[in-house]
Amino acid sequence: MDRFARNFIVFSIMYLALASLLGVAMLWYPSLMALKFVHSHLNMLGWVSMMIYGVGYHILPRFSGKPLRYPKIGEIQFWTANIGLIGMLVFYTIYIYHPALSYKIISVSFGALEVFSIFLFIYNMLATLLIEQAT
Ligand code: HEM
Ligand code: HEM
């Protein structure tokens, strides 16, 4: 298994742990409901999407009988997806408690990096599955 595929799976499992701890804390302290976006996206972009990236990078090329087209882009996607997610959620949290425009701009910028990482995955997967490669 490629290193970045395995790392996606390992990080995904860590996001599940973090998100579920935050979820149960939100039940206990209703004021933490202000961080519902953090909980839901630790889950949806962290746990769910990263598990899909990791498993997808490993099995989709094998199902189609072709190697992953751009392993280097997979590695870059691992870093951009994680830096984007953590940066977006950390600065969102800071913004909730200190609503200054600068924090909002930084959170949105990391969010844009997250979107970029999503498009790297889309491009790499479609290039692998759809484009015929010389063998
Ligand atoms: C121990 C595990 C978990 C706990 C204690 C928990 C707790 C919560 C709580 C308290 C809320 C806020 C509900 C509200 O607005 O009234 C919430 C929302 C949410 N949770 Fe969890 N959660 C857990 C696991 C998960 C998992 C595994 C996922 C996804 C795979 C998930 C996805 C979501 C989403 C998407 C929302 C937002 C739903 C909405 O806005 O209506 N949660 N969770
Ligand atoms: C860069 C990617 C993404 C960004 C910037 C983003 C942003 C947002 C924002 C701003 C909201 C509204 C939050 C609020 O009402 O306070 C939201 C809600 C939601 N998003 Fe995303 N999202 C992204 C990706 C995803 C993905 C990939 C999924 C599912 C796999 C997802 C699932 C949800 C769900 C279930 C909600 C409603 C629950 C909630 O309010 O937290 N999002 N998202």
d(CA 41, ligand 2 centre) in Å: 6
117 Cβ contact list (under 8 Å, min separation 6): 77, 80, 81, 84
Task: Please tell me the number of the ligand nearest to residue 88's CA.
Answer: 2
Contact (CB, 8 A) for 132 and 64: no
pLDDT digits (tens, 9 = 90+) for 46-101: 999 999 999 999 999 999 999 999 999 999 999 999 999 999 999 999 999 999 99
d(CA 39, ligand 1 centre) in Å: 7
CA distance 32 to 89: 14
* Residue owning the nearest CA to atom 33 of ligand 1: 40
* Residue owning the nearest CA to atom 38 of ligand 1: 40
**Confidence (pTM):** 0.96
pLDDT digits (tens, 9 = 90+) for 1-15: 999 999 999 999 999
Q: Ligand 1 pocket test: pick from 14, 22, 26, 51 the residue with the most ligand atoms within 8 Å of its Cβ.
A: 26
d(CA 37, ligand 2 centre) in Å: 7
* pLDDT value at residue 134: 61
Position in ligand 1 atom list of the atom nearest CA 27: 10
